[in-house]
Structure formats: structure tokens, C-alpha cells
Amino acid sequence: MKYKLLVLLLFNISLCYSQTLAIDYKFELADDKDEYGFSGFGIVRLITDSSKSISYVKVTDTIVSFKNIGETIQKASEFDFSDPAEYKDLASNEYYSRTIFPKYLLKDNTYMVAWTITENYKEILGYKCQQAVGHYRGRDYTLYFTTAIPIQSGPKRFDGLPGLILEITSNEGAIHYKAIKIQKSNEVIENPFNKLNLLYINWDQFINAYKDYFKRITNYVPEQDTAIIIPKRGVEVFINDNNE
């Protein structure tokens, strides 16, 4: 009898989280290490179930002064649900997005991280969250996930933990995502990029193309009083400090 009750309980938990969730994350990206840094502030809406996810971004009105970059002004936008930012097939560990190159889309299946789960905990939105740490493409990160929502998902390329990721911080403080709202969603999640008549490139191809683009832009001599700045890092570090 106890065994039957346990099976029923596990079935009910699985059924509950076969539902689709919408999670809003407030994000702050503020890297002023040098003139090739970047900034961005806003909300990411992640729509996810246990096998796939799609995300949308809106930015907020922000004025930021960086010591190496100067003043940055960002105008607010709203979610454009006709133009998703990213899609992930969680079952096959494949990430899809647009790139800075209009003719090419990114299909990345090499982003997974071997996270180390610690015994540190904190509460986020009423959920008990456990800490995980790891190194991801040039930055060290600390994450918090909750097994109370057993969906191995999160914003950007962050996933692969035994629960939904609710907070992400790079250890130097440049990157921060934190969940501010969780609700049920009725959205049907499909890969929007397969409908576009564009070619896919993988991560290595993207990085090689980005390095060439960075070199061309930084060697370009613009007209007087004109500056062209291209970042060499974001959530990932595209180009290291030796420009390699």
C-alpha cells in the first residue's frame, strides 16, 4: 500500500511539472573592464517545460556611467513575441539564436557545463534554492536552482541542474540574472528559427567569424568625431585579453 502511494505521489509530481512555466528574470549586464565592455538592463521572459524553452527580452530605461566607456543610455522596449531571442532543445542540449551576422543563425550543442553543487542554500521567491558553481566560456559563475521545480532549465545557456535555475551571477559581478516572477503558461513552444531561410553555424564557426569581424572593426579608421565600439565579451568571453 505504501509503495502504491509513493508511485502515485511521484506520478502527480511529474504530471504537475509537465506543465509549461513562464519565468521573468531581471538581468543586469555591466562590464566596464575596458573600452570593449558592454551593458544591458531589462527582463528576460523564459517560457519552458521539461524538454524545451524559448525566451524573449525587453530592456528598461537606463543611464549608466562607466569609467572606461563613458555614459550609456538605453531606451526601454517591450517584449516582441514575434521575435524570440533564443530557443533551446533541452532534450538534445541544443541552443539556437540569431547572430550579429544577418545571413547566419547559431546552433550550439557544446555549451554544457559540469556544474559543482555545493551545500549552500538561499531562498528566492519562496523557493529553497541550492548553490552550484562552475566555469563557462571565460567567466566563473555561481547559480542557485530549486528542486521544488524539477525542470532542468534556465535563461541563456544556463541549464543542466536538477531543478529550475532562479539566479545566476558571474563571480566578478558583471553578469546577474534573478527570477522575479513565476507563473503557468499556455504557450506552445516551437523552434522559431527553423522557419527562417538562413544557414546555421556552430559555436566555433561563430567565434572565428566574430574574431575576424572584431579585427576589421577595430582596425577601421572612421570619420572624425565618430567612434565604433564592438564588445569582445558578454555572458561568454568572445575574445580574450590577448585578442586571440
- Specify if 102 maps to a domain: yes
- Our count of domains for the chain comes to 1
Q: How far apart are CA 178 and CA 222, in angstroms?
A: 39
CATH of the domain at 48: 2.50.20
pLDDT computed for residue 34 by the predictor: 73
Mean pLDDT of the chain: 86
Note down the domain range covering 213: 17-219
- Specify if 165 maps to a domain: yes
- Specify if 242 maps to a domain: no
Kindly report whether the global pTM for this prediction surpasses the value 0.75.
yes
pLDDT computed for residue 5 by the predictor: 39
pLDDT computed for residue 165 by the predictor: 98
Q: Is the pLDDT of residue 36 over 90?
A: no
Cα end-to-end span (Å), the chain: 63
- Specify if 5 maps to a domain: no
As beta bridge partners, residue 208 has none
131-187: pLDDT as tens digits: 999 999 999 999 999 999 999 999 999 999 999 999 999 999 999 999 999 999 999
The more confidently predicted of residues 236 and 10 is 236
Pick from 56-60, 172-176, 195-199: least confident: 56-60
8-34: pLDDT as tens digits: 343 444 444 579 999 999 999 988 777
- Specify if 66 maps to a domain: yes
Distances from the Cα of 108 to the Cα of 87, 112, 150, 195, 201, angstroms? 11, 10, 24, 17, 8
What length does the chain have? 244
pLDDT computed for residue 64 by the predictor: 57
